[in-house]
Amino acid sequence: MNLYDVKYTRFALVREMMETAQVVRNFDPTEVGTFARRAQTKKGLFLTGEGSSRIFPAKRAIYDMLRYGARIPVFTEGSTQAMEYPLTDLAVFGASNSGQTKEVVRLFMKLREEGHDALFGLTANEDTKLADLAHQTHVLGCGKEDAVAATKSVVEQALFYDALVRVMVGKCLCGFDELPDQMEEAMTTRIDKEIIESVKSADMIYFAGRNNGVVEELTLKTNEITRKKSEFLEGTYAVHGIEEVMDRREVVVIVDPFPAEEEKFQQCLVKGVGMNVIAIASRQTAFPTVLIPDGGKMAPYVELAAGWNLLVETGLALGIDLDKPVRARKIGNEFTL
């Protein structure tokens, strides 16, 4: 996709995706300092929210904390289920672009009543109900999103948690400068027409890969952008039983496949089921591959951007109005008094 062809520019979704690179350029990782210091008074982090405000931002943070080998536990769960947990010993971060998401607001109201003293908000708007309940709130700089599918806000939320985690464990705030160009390249790279046709004609689109938020977020975006059914297959789950009900009219998109598992995927899914398997990776894989820059530790962001590219091209090939889902809403469940 690009911003020089009306085929793309007429959609707010595409414009907002392409604005993400500038959002990354404008992001100041040092702004998390006061949040990190207050959060460190607790035994760990609990990152909550609904949909895209939780999936990629929170799970990428958990993935990084585990890779760092840090002793600070990080958890995530939807806000309604979180109401069943004692969260007193954890710093709770609630992400809601509107600041009005019912589930998040309801959880924060409960925690406030219980006397919780470390509640933090992450919103894209000033003067919200969530900000009233939180002890400290960070307002994103990405600006308003008109498209129903959240994109640039998801990345900025993830950047905030990324910097927060690094400050808490004493890691370098580096890699942010190179990321915008890498994401831009991933979003604008030309995708082979056969790959697009495979996804376009599929009855079901599976996304497989690491549990770092990327493939799960793309699974949700598939519903919102292409209007096709999709499923998230964590790790190598795709070859651990679900192949029994897969068929050749479906497709699996693997993000950064584990090299040691490529042969198994080839044998089980391509040869066994007869289905198409596509990869998004910074190297050529055993499958038709959407090649992207090597983002190193920032790779999840680049992979997400490439997935957006694939989904937009698929949606356009299907003749879909990318900005107007029939049922999905910008605020899925808004808090009202």
Segment 92-132, tens digit of pLDDT: 999 999 999 999 999 999 999 999 999 999 999 999 999 99
Tokens 């990354």 -> residue: 24
Does some domain include residue 336? no
The DSSP secondary-structure symbol of 84 reads: T
Secondary structure element (H or E) that encloses residue 26, with its range: helix 12-26
Query: Has residue 334 got a pLDDT over 80?
Result: no
Which pLDDT band, with edges at 50, 70 and 90, does 330 fall under?
A: low
Structure confidence at residue 332 (pLDDT): 64
Percent of the chain at pLDDT exceeding 70: 96
In a domain, 4, yes or no: no
The residue type of 230 is: S
In this structure, are residues 228 and 204 in contact, taking their beta carbons and an 8 Å threshold? Answer: yes
The CATH code of the domain that includes 155 is 3.40.50.10490
CA–CA gap between residue 253 and residue 272 (Å, rounded) = 17
Same domain, 228 and 148: no
Note whether residue 89 is domain-resident. Answer: yes
Do 55 and 164 lie in one domain? The reply is yes
DSSP string, 271-299: III--EEEEEESS--SS-EEE----GGGH
Place of tokens 């919103």: 123
At residue 69, the pLDDT reads: 94
Mean pLDDT across the chain, nearest whole number? 95
Q: Is the pLDDT of residue 337 over 70?
A: no
Please tell me which residue, 255 or 126, carries the higher pLDDT value. Answer: 255
Structural domains in the chain (count) = 2
Q: Tell me whether residue 328 is in a domain.
A: no
Q: Residues 127, 195: one domain?
A: no
The pLDDT assigned to 235 comes to 93
Q: Are residues 305 and 195 in the same domain?
A: yes
Domain final position from 149, 169, 189: 169
Dump pLDDT digits (tens) for 256-284.
999 999 999 999 999 999 999 999 999 99
The SS3 of residue 210 is coil
Distances (CA, A) of 96 to 11, 39, 70: 23, 19, 27
For 198-208, write each residue's pLDDT tens digit: 999 999 999 99
Could you tell me if 39 and 161 lie in one domain?
yes
Indicate whether 327 pLDDT > 70.
no
| Whether residue 85 is found in the same domain as residue 128 | yes
Does residue 141 fall inside a structural domain?
yes
192 and 230 share one domain: yes
C-alpha 227/C-alpha 326 separation (Å) is 9
- What are the C-alpha distances in Å from 306 to residues 1, 138, 184, 186? 10, 28, 9, 5
For 152-263, where are the E strands, in sequence order? 204-209, 229-234, 251-255
The helix or strand, by DSSP H or E, that contains position 61, with its residue range, turns out to be helix 55-68
Same domain, yes or no, for 301 and 185? yes
Encode pLDDT of 294-324 as tens digits.
Answer: 999 999 999 999 999 999 999 999 999 999 8
- Which residue segment(s) compose the domain that 202 sits in? 179-317
Q: What is the mean pLDDT of residues 186-197?
A: 97
Same domain, 192 and 313: yes
91 and 218 share one domain: no
pLDDT bucket at 3, cuts 50 / 70 / 90: confident
| Residue 108 vs residues 51, 94, 120, 237, 260: alpha-carbon distances, Å | 17, 8, 9, 35, 44
